[in-house]
Copies of this chain bind each other. A is one copy, B any other.
Amino acid sequence: MADDATKITLRESEIPQRWYNINPDLPAPLSPPLHPGTGKPIGPAELAPIFPMELIKQEVSMDPWVEIPDEVLRVYRLWRPSPLYRAHRLEKELGTPARIYYKNESFSPAGSHKPNTAVAQAYYNKLEGVKRIATETGAGQWGSALAFACCLFGLECTVYMVRASYEQKPYRRILMETWGAKCFPSPTDMTNAGRQIRAKFPDTPGSLGIAISEAVEDAATHDDAKYSLGSVLNHVLLHQTIVGLEAKAQFKLAGDYPDIICGCVGGGSNFAGAAFPFIKDKLSGKDITILAVEPQSCPSLTRGDFRYDFGDTAQLTPLLKMYTLGHNFVPEPIHAGGLRYHGMAPLISLLTNKGVIEPRAYHQLGTFEAAVTFARTEGSLPAPETAHAVRAGIDEALKCKDTGQEKCILIAYSGHGFFDLAAYDKYLTNQLQDHEYSREQVEAALKELPVIAEPSA
């Protein structure tokens, strides 16, 4: 291909046919999820009321590759293969000898990487006769991806949307409704969990933790409904590896290979999708720097403990071994809502603990500065979450400017910021602030956690 190519594009026939499962390649075994009540390892049967069996199998699979069903591939083709861009204009603006690439997931109908797993999850649910999927959503990125996927497979979709977002950010709600989903401001009076919270706190703005509890209860108490999660779990990360597998094929076409990979992490699915196929090479000896970028106001990887904790505030989910700030930690209200999670995917946590992944935390203002530089050179407007990866990519390129090293940098460009323009407005008019996490708050939140022993092998 020409050296000055802007996009490296695969043909439809070149979409990878398998997802990559990193589980068998890990440098140490994953600690099992534990039952929230008994503290004992949780089995497939206990998850069956809320997940279809095929996804439970994927969650614990030790097969290195998982075939992507044809029906899923057919939907993927609406936006996949996604383009790998060479950021010539950004490089020029920075005056760096580095080669910067970005894998652009913003062209999916929902505008982010989320549909990669939403489509797969909807398919497996449909296959097992499920009629309806319940889920939670904060600002609506995940809810809109699942609404889209359910719509294409003829499934009903119930979304418990954090009340504050439901009221203040109607656009993603309307997007979900356009795709036929039913959205409710959480807490609702449709579940026990919701009713209890409303009785205690009638004016609560809701939280992701409460919304998870409602969606799980909905699925567990209705035979024809299941629950779906948009990040954290192994099978979700598995589905996202299509991103990195495509990127590898594209780098091969370009005759290049990344020295540095930058991805933002909230629950970890976007990062894992882009990075895991390259981490496979790193685990085989390849020299790559893998940067997991999180907000300073919610620094689970850089400041949290690696231990068992609950996935939700209400302590209803299984206990997961992960980097956590404590399930009672409430991050500052930064605009990168998708990164405001107290924990981290167990797979990413383990790889970070083993030194394979290097975590890094950024302040909000710096990420918006990077996002505007990106928009003014490459044209595209990054989501505030994506802006964290862009910031890291720019910083690495600027280091190359200092050292003269011609490194190859890959930015995982997870989504667009068309629904985040109010945040850009605040940045451009100097109304944005940086939020430091409170060390005291984290220490207090961690101190409250019960100490859970690692189960014996």
A365 at interface by CB-CB < 8 Å: no
A180 at interface by CB-CB < 8 Å: yes
Could you tell me which residues of chain A, from 424 to 438, have a CB within 8 Å of some CB in chain B?
A: 424-425, 428
- How many A residues touch B, CB cutoff 8 Å? 45
Q: State which of B2, B77, B379 has its C-beta within 8 Å of the C-beta of A6.
A: B77
A178, B419: Cβ atoms under 8 Å?
A: no
Residues of B within 8 A of A418 (CB): 111, 171, 175, 418-419
A316 at interface by CB-CB < 8 Å: no
A375, B178: Cβ atoms under 8 Å?
A: yes
Could you tell me which residues of chain A, from 146 to 176, have a CB within 8 Å of some CB in chain B?
A: 148, 151-152, 170-171, 174-175
Bound complex: CA of A379 vs CA of B380, how far in Å?
21
Residues of B within 8 A of A6 (CB): 12, 74, 77-78
Residues of B within 8 A of A171 (CB): 418, 421-422
Chain B residue with minimal CB distance to A110? Answer: B379
Bound complex: CA of A33 vs CA of B424, how far in Å?
42
A282 at interface by CB-CB < 8 Å: no
Bound complex: CA of A74 vs CA of B85, how far in Å?
13
Q: State which of B9, B170, B377 has its C-beta within 8 Å of the C-beta of A11.
A: B9
Chain B residue with minimal CB distance to A107? Answer: B107
A403 at interface by CB-CB < 8 Å: no
A248 at interface by CB-CB < 8 Å: no
Chain B residue with minimal CB distance to A2? Answer: B13
A404 at interface by CB-CB < 8 Å: no
CB distance from A13 to the nearest CB of B (A): 7
A109 at interface by CB-CB < 8 Å: yes
Q: A107-B107, A179-B375 are in contact. Are A7 and B12 (CB under 8 A)?
A: yes
Residues of B within 8 A of A428 (CB): 174, 177-178
| B-binding residues in A (CB < 8 A) | 2, 4-7, 9, 11-13, 74, 77-79, 85, 89, 107-109, 111, 148, 151-152, 170-171, 174-175, 177-180, 372, 375-381, 418-419, 421-422, 424-425, 428
**7 more A-B contacts (CB under 8 A) besides A6-B74, A171-B422?**
A2-B12, A9-B9, A78-B380, A148-B379, A171-B418, A175-B421, A178-B372
- Name 12 A/B residue pairs within 8 A (Cβ), A-sorted: A2-B12, A4-B74, A5-B12, A6-B74, A7-B77, A107-B107, A109-B380, A151-B376, A171-B421, A174-B421, A175-B424, A178-B421
By Cβ-Cβ distance, the 9 closest A-B pairs, closest first, are: A109-B379, A6-B77, A174-B421, A174-B425, A171-B421, A418-B418, A78-B379, A178-B424, A151-B376
